[in-house]
Structures are given as C-alpha cells and as structure tokens.
Amino acid sequence: MVRGFSPAAAAAVFRRQNFLIRCLGGYRKEKNYSNNFHHHCVIRMHSAMSGGPSLEADAVSILRSITPTLDPTRHKGQAGKVAVIGGCREYTGAPYFSAISALKLGADVSHVFCTKDAATVIKSYSPELIVHPILEESYSIRNDEKGSISAKVIEEVDKWMERFDCLVIGPGLGRDPFLLDCVSNIMKRARESNVPMVIDGDGLFLVSNSPDLVRGYPLAVLTPNVNEYKRLVQKILNCEVNDEEGSKQLLALAKGIGGVTILRKGKSDFITDGEKVSAVSIYGSPRRCGGQGDILAGSVAVFLSWARQSAYRGELGTNPTILGCIAASAILRKAASLAFDQKKRSTLTSDIIECLGRSLEEICPVIS
C-alpha cells in the first residue's frame, strides 16, 4: 500500500497511474523492463525516493490545462519567447538542443546568447535560432578590456530582456570565471525584470558557488543532474546526498535556497518548490546519451511560460514553475520513448528532439 493512503485511495491512485502511463505511452515499456508494472507503479511512490511522500504527478491533465490552442487571432510571440544563455568554444550542442527544443514544442521565438566563437557554429545548425555573439571567455580578451566588455554584454542583453518569457541559463556555458561573472550580471537583471530563469548545466555550477543569485526568487527553476545535485546539496546543506531521506532533503534544499523550484533528474524526476514533492516516473528510454537534459531545460522554459499565461487567466491553483517542470519531464520522456522505439541503441538527442512534436500532439492534439 502507498504510505499514508487508505487501501481505497491507494487503489484509486493505482488506477490513475495506469491511465496516465497508458496516455503517455509508457505502459508497454514498463512491462518490457520490469515485467511487473503493478509492483513498480505502486511501490515506486515510496521506494523511488524515501524520506517523505512523493506522488506521481498527473502530467496529462497538466499538459492539457497549460498548452495553448493554436488560435488564429494570436500574434507572433504570444506562444513564448525564450532565450538560452550558453554556448562557448567547447560546447555548441547544448545551447542548440535547448533552444531548438523550445521551438519544436511550440515557442514562437528562440534566442541564444553565446560566445563569439560558438555563434557561427550554432547559427549553422539552424536558421531558426536568433544568435547573439556577445559573451567572451578570458582567453580571448585582455585584462584591461574586461570592464568595458562586461558593460557591453549587459547593454546587449538589456535591449531584449523585457521581451523574454523565460531564460535558460547554463547549457554549454563553460566555467570561465569572467564569462560566469557576466552571466551573474545577466541573472541579476533578469531578476529585476521578473523574468523566470531555468538554471541548468554550468549555470548550476555558478549557482552552487553563488546561491544568492537565485535565493528567494520564486521564478527560478534549477534542473540538476546527479553531479549537479550533489554539488548543490554539499554547498547549500553542508552534507552529502542521502537517498534514504531523499524527499526530505530535496524539500530542505528548495527551502534552503528560499523556495526556488528544483527538478532533480534521474530514474524518476522529482520536483518541488519546498512545499511538497511531485514525481514523474513514466518510462522514457534506456539510452543516456548526452543532451537530454538540455532538451528538458528548453522544454521547462516553454511549459513554464505557458503555465504562467494560464495562471494570469486565473485557471491554475498550482505554482506555474512546478507545472512547467512536470509537463516538460513527461514530454521529454515520452519523446525519448518514441525515439527509442525507432532507433534503439543508436538513439541520439537529435532523434528525441524530432519526436517532441508528436509526443505533445498525442496528448494535446491541434484539432481535438
């Protein structure tokens, strides 16, 4: 039985789980990989991460409540304008994956703010993206130029800031100290303008060392993978990750950073803003190719923006950042499952991106 639930309530939860997993196309895979769906589904709710309850989220209902209809009266931009701050000499794939995923899910405009070295490369991946070559790494500039370059970066970003529905900070950003300093300034501006921020990859490296950048900002979403989560727990809670107390620790971490939203990625994704923990556990894919977290970050930005629009219309009773995380996690996992069906061991991040549209369409058809 699910801890804290009566047998009748546990049975209802189980039926609901069955329904959700069928909708999300995960049932067959669950059987393939565990051969005992009932066991997996019910036990998972208290064994995947113990130390307090976490309930599987109703991702299908959430997706249907926040995904906007394609209304002919709407103009460009109303379905979302996102910007990715990331991309350096080393990493050009990660910001591209995040930015193109946002477009593939239905955002109208997707920008990338990256280093000069990365910009031409990212532009060449896709003409759909608007790429700003404004960041600099220490190796490419002199010390005496740093002040003026830092000011120029903020000036460029300021021109656009108010127009963005959400920023994604960190995919492929790298860890150059000067560059991270400039990105800290961008984050401060975003906060002043009340622009939501999804912090991923090297953005989480920055935030682990400078938590004040997001502390107490309810529009910040952190999406740590296993390494990034470990660093956050060590820096913020001064202890090691303890999965025996997983939910409690996640709640403490979110509270410890002043109520930001955290999406802890893993076999199940766990999501909290410090109040309660929701889980998304539908089966995705057994491939762990690099870049799936980047898709997730771009997707959270879109769904979070849509959830905020629904919230403005008074349609929601839940924190839009939480809804955005649940929706993105479910859609990524479904897309990964669709891609894996076709490509098996050779499934790559770009294959999953190609399945994002179908993944959403099967839950929220354009013409229902």
Ligand X SMILES: NC(=O)C1=CN([C@@H]2O[C@H](COP(=O)(O)OP(=O)(O)OC[C@H]3O[C@@H](n4cnc5c(N)ncnc54)[C@H](O)[C@@H]3O)[C@@H](O)[C@H]2O)[C@@H](O)CC1
Asked whether position 225 contacts ligand X by CB under 6 A, the answer is yes
State which residue has the least CB distance to ligand X.
Answer: 93
Q: Which is nearer to ligand ATP, 109 or 336 (CB)?
A: 336
Distance, in Å, from the CA atom of 216 to the CA atom of 224, rounded to the nearest integer, reads: 18
Q: How far is the CB of 292 from ligand X (least distance, A)?
A: 8
Q: Which of 33, 37, 55, 57 is nearest to 46 (CA)?
A: 55
275 labelled ligand-binding: no
User: What is the sign, positive or negative, of the torsion defined by CA atoms of 150, 156, 161, 164?
Assistant: negative
Q: Whose structure tokens read 């993978």? A: 225
Q: Find which of ligand X, ligand ATP, Mg ion, none residue 56 binds, CB within 5 to 8 Å per kind.
A: none
293 labelled ligand-binding: yes
Q: How far is the CB of 170 from Mg ion (least distance, A)?
A: 8
Q: Whose structure tokens read 């996102």? A: 82
Q: How far is the CB of 129 from ligand X (least distance, A)?
A: 15
Q: How far is the CB of 295 from Mg ion (least distance, A)?
A: 10
Which element (helix H / strand E) includes 97? helix 93-105
Q: Find which of ligand ATP, ligand X, Mg ion, none residue 265 binds, CB within 5 to 8 Å per kind.
A: ligand ATP
In the sheet that 130-135 helps form, which strands lie side by side, from edge to edge?
54-56, 277-280, 269-272, 261-264, 220-222, 197-199, 166-169, 81-85, 109-115, 130-135
Q: x/- binding map, residues 160-179, to ligand X, per CB under 6 A?
A: -----------xxx-x----
Q: x/- binding map, residues 189-208, to ligand X, per CB under 6 A?
A: ------------xx------
Distance, in Å, from the CA atom of 62 to the CA atom of 331, rounded to the nearest integer, reads: 11
Q: Which positions from 229 through 288 interact with ligand X, judged by CB under 6 A?
A: none
**Rounded to whole angstroms, what are the CA distances from 117 to 89, 142, 281, 312?**
6, 16, 38, 40
Q: Whose structure tokens read 């790298």? A: 174
Q: Which is nearer to ligand ATP, 150 or 225 (CB)?
A: 225
294 labelled ligand-binding: yes
Which element (helix H / strand E) includes 277? strand 277-280
Which element (helix H / strand E) includes 110? strand 109-115
Q: Which of 201, 11, 178, 195 is nearest to 87 (CA)?
A: 201
Q: Which positions from 120 through 149 interact with ligand X, judged by CB under 6 A?
A: none
Asked whether position 291 contacts ligand X by CB under 6 A, the answer is yes
Q: How far is the CB of 294 from ligand X (least distance, A)?
A: 5
Q: Which is nearer to Mg ion, 20 or 335 (CB)?
A: 335
Task: Please give the single-letter amino acid code of residue 154.
Answer: I
Convert 54-66 to b/e letters by CB count within 10 Å (16 or more is b): bbbbbbbebbebb
- Which of 201, 246, 256, 284 touches Mg ion by CB under 5 A? 201
Contacts of 58 (CB under 8 A, 6+ apart): 16, 20
> In the structure encoding, which two tokens stand for residue 154, read together?
């903020």
> In the structure encoding, which two tokens stand for residue 295, read together?
């898709």
Distance, in Å, from the CA atom of 131 to the CA atom of 138, rounded to the nearest integer, reads: 21
Q: Which residues bind ligand ATP (CB under 6 A)?
A: 201, 225, 265-267, 269, 284, 288, 290-294, 296, 329, 332
Q: Which positions from 75 through 114 interact with ligand X, judged by CB under 6 A?
A: 91-94
Q: Find which of ligand ATP, ligand X, Mg ion, none residue 287 binds, CB within 5 to 8 Å per kind.
A: none
Q: How far is the CB of 224 from Mg ion (least distance, A)?
A: 8
Q: Find which of Mg ion, ligand ATP, ligand X, none residue 284 binds, CB within 5 to 8 Å per kind.
A: ligand ATP
Distance, in Å, from the CA atom of 338 to the CA atom of 269, rounded to the nearest integer, reads: 19
Q: Find which of ligand X, Mg ion, ligand ATP, none residue 269 binds, CB within 5 to 8 Å per kind.
A: ligand ATP
Annotated binding site for ATP: which residue ranges?
265-269, 284-293
Known binding-site positions = 172, 225-231, 265-269, 284-294
Interacting residue ranges for ligand X, rule: CB under 6 A: 91-94, 171-173, 175, 201-202, 225, 227-228, 290-291, 293-294
> Residue positions in the annotated binding site for (6S)-NADPHX?
172, 225-231, 294
